A and B are shown apart, each in its own frame.
Chain A
Amino acid sequence: MSGGADVTLETQSQATTRERTFATLLGVFVICLMCWPLAQGLLVQKYGLNPWKGFAIAMYCTRHAVTVEVLAATPKGLIAVPSEDLKTREIFGLYQKYNEQRQTLGLLAGPPPAELATAIMKRYPGLKDVLFRIRNYRLDPASGRMAIDMKCVYHFRMSGGQAVLFDQDERAELLGNNSD
C-alpha cells in the first residue's frame, strides 16, 4: 500500500464510526480555524483588540499601542496625575492589571475598575472627579504614521466614599480621520 489515495480508500473501508467522526470534527475545526482571523479582524476594528494576540496570525502585520492616562478634575482644569503617583502599592497593581487587559482586549475590557478610581481619589483628598483617557493607536497605512484608532474617556465621581462611573464616551474606528 503506497500513496495518499490508498490512505483514503482504507478510511472508507476499515475506519470505525469513531474514527470517521474524529475526521469530520477535525474538518469542522479546520473550517472554523480558517475563518477565525476574519472574525478577529472585525473585533480589532470595532473593539480595538490587539491584532497580535488571539491566534489570528496577525503578528508583524501592524503596530498597536494603547495609552491609559489618569486625569484629576481640579478647579484649575484637568491635570494629568504624575505616573510616579500611580506607582504606589495600592494603585499600581490595579492600574497595571487594567492597562494590560486594555492593551489586549480594547473596549471588551470595559471601563476601569471602580476600586482603581477610588484608590486614586483617596490618594488626593478633596478630589471629587477623576477621568481615565484611553487612546488606541495603530499604524495608519495612508499616512505611514501611528494614528489614533479609538479613544475613550471614563469619568468617575466620588459618592459616599466610593468612586462610581458617572459618564463615559467611547469612539472607535477613527483610523484615518485625524480625530483626537
Chain B
Amino acid sequence: MNVFQAILQRTALATDEAELGPPLLRVLWRVLLSTNLILLTESLLDVRLANPTVPIDAFASEFFRIGLFAAILAGSFWSRGLPVFAGAACLLSLSELCRLVPSGPNHGYLGYLSTCISSLGILLSRNRPLNKEDSTTGSGDACWSAIYAVRWLVVYVMLWSGLNKLLYATYFQGEFFASMVHKDPRFAKFFTWIVPAAELQQIVDAENGPHRFRSLLPILGANVVYLSEIVAGLLLLFRRTALAGVLLTFAILVGIEVAAVELVFGGLMVNLLLIYFPRWYVHRGYWLSVAINGLLLGYLQGRLFDLLPDLGIH
C-alpha cells in the first residue's frame, strides 16, 4: 500500500465488511443520482424566481438534463446496464461540475463530485465478481475506495468549515453572526433565544456596526461553532472516534438547519453521513435517504410549477 492509498483508507471503519462494499456503493450511487435531480431542480428554481416573466418552457435544456439524470436513476436498477449508466452518470456529473464553476453553490460541487466518484467506483468494479451467482456485484476494492473518498468529502466539509472560520477570525466575538443578525431577519429571529432583547435591537439598528456581541452566551456559542466543526472533522478520521464524529456532525447539521434552513445541503450531508453505518444503510437505512430526497424533490418541483408556497427553504 502506498502513501496515497493509506491516506485514502484513513476514513475506513472497523465495521466496513468487504462484502458490503458493492451493495453500499450502489445504494449510495442511486441516492446521489436522486440528489442530482434535487440540485438541478434547485438551480432551475433559482433561475425561474430571478426571471418570473420567462415562461417555463424556455428552460428546455434544464429539463432535458433533469430527464437524463432521471433516466440514469431508473436504469441503475438494471444490473447488466450498470457500466453504461455509471459512465453516463460520471460524464454528466462532470459536465454539471463544469457548469458550476465559478459561481455555483458549494453543495452542488459536493453532490456532483460524490456522484462522479461513486460512478467511477461502480464502473471500475464491474468485471470483478464477488461470487459466481452475481457477476455484476463487483469486488469490494474499487467500491470501498470510492466510499472512502466520499467519506473524505464529509471530513473536508466539516474540517474546513471550522478552519475557515478560524482563519477569517470573524467568530471570536461573534462578529459574523452579529453582522448577519443586522442583515438577515432569519438570524435575528434565531438569536432572540440567546441574546438579550436590548443588545439584539442595538445590533439590528447599528447600520455601520460595529457588529459584535457583548453578552457571554452568544460569544460562547459562536466559538463553539467552529471548534465543534474542527473536532467533528478530526473525529471522523479515526476508527475509534468516527462514530462520535458522525453524531457530532449530525448535531451541527441540526444547528445549521435551525439557524440557516439550508435543507438541500443538510439533506445531502445526512445522506453522506449514513454511509458510516454500512450494514444498516444497505438493509434498511437507505429508506431514510429515499424519504429525505423524496420530500426535498417534491417540494422543489412543487415550487417550480407554483403548486406549493414558499417555505423559506434554501
Contacts A24-B2, A144-B210, A144-B211 hold; do A37 and B18 have CB atoms under 8 A apart? no
B2-22: CB near A (< 8 Å → 1, else 0) gives 111111110011111111010
CA distance in complex: A108, B173 (Å) = 32
Q: Give the A interface residue count (CB, 8 A).
A: 54
Contacts A8-B1, A22-B124 hold; do A14 and B141 have CB atoms under 8 A apart? yes
Q: Which of B8, B109, B125, B210 contacts A30 (CB 8 A)?
A: B8
CB closest residue in chain A, given B11: A30
Question: Is the beta-carbon distance between B7 and A4 smaller than 8 angstroms?
Answer: no
CB closest residue in chain B, given A34: B156
Name the B residues within 8 Å of A143 (CB-CB): 209-210
Question: Is the beta-carbon distance between B124 and A146 smaller than 8 angstroms?
Answer: no
Question: Is the beta-carbon distance between A30 and B149 smaller than 8 angstroms?
Answer: yes
Q: Which of B38-46, B84-92, B160-168, B301-309 contacts A (4 or more CB under 8 A)?
A: B160-168
A62-102: CB near B (< 8 Å → 1, else 0) gives 11000000000000000000000000000000000000100
Counting chain B CB atoms within 10 Å of each CB, which of A4, A20, A105 scores highest? A4
Contacts A26-B117, A62-B176, A63-B179 hold; do A53 and B102 have CB atoms under 8 A apart? yes
Contacts A7-B18, A27-B8 hold; do A16 and B128 have CB atoms under 8 A apart? yes
CA distance in complex: A30, B151 (Å) = 10
Interface of B: prevailing SS: helix
CB closest residue in chain B, given A100: B103
Name the A residues within 8 Å of B175 (CB-CB): 139, 141, 144
CA distance in complex: A55, B145 (Å) = 22
Name the B residues within 8 Å of A39 (CB-CB): none
CA distance in complex: A143, B175 (Å) = 9
Question: Is the beta-carbon distance between A139 and B170 smaller than 8 angstroms?
Answer: yes
CB closest residue in chain B, given A49: B102
Interface assignment of A168: CB less than 8 Å from any CB of chain B: no
From residue B184, how far is it (CB to closest CB) to chain A in Å? 10
From residue B171, how far is it (CB to closest CB) to chain A in Å? 8
Name the B residues within 8 Å of A7 (CB-CB): 12, 16-18, 21, 140, 144
Interface assignment of A56: CB less than 8 Å from any CB of chain B: yes
Contacts A23-B145, A139-B176, A145-B210 hold; do A61 and B7 have CB atoms under 8 A apart? no
Interface assignment of B286: CB less than 8 Å from any CB of chain A: no
From residue B280, how far is it (CB to closest CB) to chain A in Å? 15
Contacts A23-B5, A37-B163 hold; do A62 and B156 have CB atoms under 8 A apart? no
Question: Is the beta-carbon distance between A4 and B176 smaller than 8 angstroms?
Answer: no
Contacts A4-B13, A6-B17, A31-B7 hold; do A139 and B179 have CB atoms under 8 A apart? yes
Instruction: Rank and list the top 9 A-B pairs by shortest CB-CB distance, nearest first.
Output: A27-B4, A144-B210, A145-B209, A55-B109, A57-B160, A27-B8, A4-B12, A58-B164, A141-B169
- What are 30 pairs between A and B in contact, CB < 8 Å? A4-B9, A4-B16, A4-B239, A7-B140, A18-B124, A22-B124, A25-B4, A26-B149, A28-B4, A29-B149, A30-B7, A33-B152, A37-B160, A37-B163, A41-B167, A52-B106, A54-B102, A60-B180, A61-B164, A61-B165, A103-B103, A105-B102, A141-B168, A141-B170, A144-B178, A144-B179, A144-B211, A145-B209, A145-B211, A146-B179
Contact residues of B with A, CB < 8 Å? 1-9, 12-19, 21, 101-104, 106, 109-110, 117, 120-121, 124-125, 128, 139-142, 144-146, 148-149, 152-153, 156-157, 159-161, 163-165, 167-170, 172-173, 175-176, 178-180, 183, 208-212, 239, 260
